[in-house]
Structure 1
């Protein structure tokens, strides 16, 4: 029996779906590098990566996918565990990091893995734990691998509590579409996502970019955060958004309570004030 067979806090269909996604969007080309750098910088707003010693510090990327974030962690750490349960994405990771001794690929789950207990200076999980059935338990599992005083950098889908009513109503309509598309066969999901990216994401993103140039506030304009992203990233995110059957969203208060239950020091909790929401960093109790 494999380690992932022992972990009951997972949805194998979701894992397989992401395996297909990251095999298709492996980000091996360089045209997305600048946009990915900007996105990673936004994710890291709540934490200063320069505080870690690249000669001795250890990190873990929980749900590494294509490795796009693991590769950006590597310059700051002597060792990065790229944890990924899916077959498709693990194949991408092994190929991508075959010549990088700093990155160790583990085809294992958040709940059951071989990362030593209390070993990580930083655990990172960006856009992953909300796709696990019990996100609170997953956070506890991640916490187990962090050393006392170590950091947790995480991005979880938020419940839109800071958005106006019309924005939340649009989301509810979109969520109904997601439920339909996510139940379709994988090839159909990918085609559907590409059509949505071309007909919805790209036009709205470019309109937002134009409005920004005209000096308008676009913070409540749908998909404004895609304004400067290339089409391949729009397609990837459309597949991520509409192709996944299990999706959960959390408020700041709910995230805070999950962190409290997982033995993190809430006095160190830092929620990012820029998108994507909610990204946060917090230290484990010493």
Structure 2
């Protein structure tokens, strides 16, 4: 039997995400909101490097919300997910005949090294004990010349001191909330969505309409997001046991060490999205 360290997973975090995606399977989001989110993450992805015959992977697919956009563009997509959310992805993507659903981790997923034409991992690698090793594990699956897109939580390296202080306070909240029983955890994060996410998003929306820059207001990213998304992200941000954050330079260094070149970072939120090509 493989140990938790060998699989490079944190079981409490895996259970937490299984609960989150079961509760927020994204079926209540509008198509336009999901599509806007996809475009934010994938706008730097080099689509010209893949085609209708390409085979790739979605590492940590969750409910499969991004796979539904990628699948029609490629030959086959391997959706890998360690939690119970793999069952939700399979249900939500029923009818997509070119998708395989694999319950596994970054290091244990039945995919052969150097077999994939592309890969992506959105919002996953910072929830893994050894993020550096996780990136290497993903890159090993790729053929030379294949792109890998990732989104990893930033260390607020491009933000003000006020922003960083606010994050430190929220991280203290996370350390407490993430230890609560799942039922109570869900209630508390919903309360946070109502009392913190929503007011700040409304304020940001109002200020933007009168011409005031809201970039330095915490949670201004949600000014055009639905309350459903706020609830989902509040649960994600405050209810997850393991979270790590990295600067842009740290992410670039890990990607380079993993064998990626031609690295490009997105210039807009969410930070940091980056893509590299396997050497």
5 Å matches for 1:165-244?
Answer: 165-244=161-240
5 Å matches for 1:95-174?
Answer: 95-174=91-170
Supply the distance in 1 between the matched residues of 2:211 and 2:117 (Cα, whole angstroms): 41
Task: Tell me which of 273, 278, 281 is aligned to 2:272.
Answer: 278
TM value normalised by structure 2: 0.96
1:68 to partner: Cα distance:
0.4
Partner deviation per Cα, 1:185-212 (whole Å, 9 max, x = no partner): 0011110111111111011111111111
Distance 1:4 1:65, change over 3 A: farther
Q: 2:61 touches 2:81 (CA, 8 Å); kept in 1?
A: yes
1:82 to partner: Cα distance:
0.7
Partner deviation per Cα, 1:148-193 (whole Å, 9 max, x = no partner): 0000100000010111111101111111111000010001111011
Supply the distance in 2 between the matched residues of 1:119 and 1:206 (Cα, whole angstroms): 46
The equivalent residue for 1:61 is 58
Task: Tell me which of 32, 35, 44 is aligned to 2:33.
Answer: 35
The equivalent residue for 2:44 is 46
Supply the distance in 1 between the matched residues of 2:89 and 2:60 (Cα, whole angstroms): 11
Task: Tell me which of 73, 88, 96 is aligned to 2:70.
Answer: 73
Partner deviation per Cα, 1:3-57 (whole Å, 9 max, x = no partner): 786834110010011001111111224x432111111101112223254212x01
Partner deviation per Cα, 1:219-274 (whole Å, 9 max, x = no partner): 11111111111111110000000001111000111111111221112xx1001001
Partner deviation per Cα, 1:105-149 (whole Å, 9 max, x = no partner): 100111111122212221100100000000000000000111100
TM value normalised by structure 1: 0.94
**Paired residue secondary structure (2:77):** strand
May I ask how many residue pairs the two structures share in their alignment? 279
State yes or no: 1:256 paired with 2:255.
Answer: no
**Paired residue secondary structure (1:227):** helix
**Paired residue secondary structure (2:137):** helix
The equivalent residue for 1:12 is 11
Q: 1:130 touches 1:156 (CA, 8 Å); kept in 2?
A: yes
Supply the distance in 2 between the matched residues of 1:12 and 1:127 (Cα, whole angstroms): 17
Alignment RMSD (CA, Å): 1.4
Unaligned runs of 5+ residues in structure 1 are none
Unaligned runs of 5+ residues in structure 2 are none
Supply the distance in 1 between the matched residues of 2:90 and 2:5 (Cα, whole angstroms): 23
